[in-house]
Chains A and B, each alone.
Chain A
Amino acid sequence: MSNAKVKAYAQALFAIAQAEGAADAISNELYAVARAYESSDELRNVLGDATIPSERRLQVVEQLIGTRANRATVQIVSMIVASGQVRELPAVFDEVIALSSAGNNQDLAEVRSAIALTDDQQTRLAAALSKATGKTVNLKVVVDPSVIGGLVATVGDKVIDDTVRTRLDNLKTRI
């Protein structure tokens, strides 16, 4: 899917979320779905397997988020899965959250951490990132064990990386 098509999908889905009157909540849920999709091989295999009947894949979506997410969120995810564009799900949903952030005059700040952050840490981290970038940020924390330790923050094109993984990679390159 081209970048323009991803943006077009995202704008359409964001319009649906706005029409539901829960743009932020739905965007956040879509963002969470995207991260779950990225981190689970099993989920990717099931949702992306064209040999599995569409009904069965939609049942999986329903079982995963049917009772925990906004109804519109479930329908949006189902639509993406049914359309055969599930591989583009993270890119489309990331664009949705970016639109949502922009709508609130914020920049999306995605932070990857080896551990879950407390509310207090997230508040101070958001403030620090806002100060560093000069922008109000919409902080999204993704628990990603592959960073090993520390954090990496992406705000727009700016990446602030202080992870153990990157330090080890740098060390490996030097060796």
Chain B
Amino acid sequence: MIKKSFSARTEKIQKELDDAAAAKVTAESDAQNIRKALGDVAGERARILAEADTQASAVLAEGRTRMTAEIAELEAKAEAEISAARGRGSDELRNEITVLASRATPIVVAATLNDQIHKDLVENFISKVGAGR
């Protein structure tokens, strides 16, 4: 009776040991699978990041090129406008000076003509006309 009981207990222990060993193998296999999967995820992550980097670099490069072109265009336009405005301003200034000068000149000249100059102008006219011009 005692022997039977002992044998049963030994079997039970052995079974538990076998189960534990099997469980360990399964666990190790699972662990390996998990590690492999983790490795794949890391690789995928790295791939996605690399692809994103590439795309971002391309977008950045394209944006930089476009922006450079736009800046150059804006600068050219601004320079042309500044040049035109400078020319316009210069023309307007020149015209204004001419108008002001033409208005002021007769007044200034009239103010500088004294009696002697008036007399000289008249005498000069008479002489020239009398000489047959």
Contacts and interface: CB of A to CB of B under 8 A. Distances in A.
B121 to A, nearest CB: 4
B133 A115 contact: no
B121 A132 contact: no
| Chain B contact residues: helix, strand, loop or mixed | helix
A58 interface: no
Contacts of B132: 131-132
Interface residues of B, number: 23
Given A132-B132, A148-B113, A115 B126 contact: no
Contact of B122 (A113, A129, A132, A175): A113
- What's the interface size class on A, roughly? 20 to 34
A143 to B, nearest CB: 11
A162 interface: yes
B110 A128 contact: no
Interface stretch (B3-11, B25-33, B37-45, B100-108): B100-108
Interface of A: 113-115, 117, 121, 124-125, 127-129, 131-132, 145, 148-151, 153, 160, 162, 164-165, 168, 171-172, 175
Interface of B: 98, 101-102, 105-106, 109-110, 113, 115, 117-118, 121-130, 132-133
